[in-house]
């Protein structure tokens, strides 16, 4: 049995956790930026990007592909271009 495209309590609970992790990571990026801590900013930015990727991966696995198949290459390219 496939759960693709099914929204249930478990899916919403897991997704909420991913959103919370992304929000927390973004707050860390924001604080590092405001403090001018370049090294910490870069670390937090990597963490934030990984949270976004985890969220998109989860949605894709659940049958909700939001960005098309090339989203991963786009994120990888952008992360290397800004490194």
Burial of 79 from C-beta contacts in 10 A (0-12 / 13-18 / 19+): middle
Q: What is the pLDDT of residues 19-28, one digit of tens each?
A: 999 999 999 9
Q: Which residue has the higher pLDDT, 71 or 20?
A: 20
Q: How confident is the model at residue 17 (pLDDT cuts 50, 70, 90)?
A: very high
pLDDT at 16 (0 to 100):
98
pLDDT at 64 (0 to 100):
84
- Enumerate the domain spans of the chain: 9-81
């Amino acid at each position: 049995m496939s759960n693709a495209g099914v929204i249930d309590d478990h899916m919403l609970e897991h997704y909420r956790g991913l959103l919370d992790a992304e929000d927390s990571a973004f707050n860390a990026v924001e604080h590092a930026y405001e403090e001018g801590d370049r090294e910490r900013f870069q670390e937090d930015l990597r963490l934030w990007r990984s949270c976004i990727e985890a969220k998109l991966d989860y949605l894709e696995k659940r049958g909700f592909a939001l960005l098309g198949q090339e989203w991963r290459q786009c994120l990888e390219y952008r992360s290397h271009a800004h490194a």
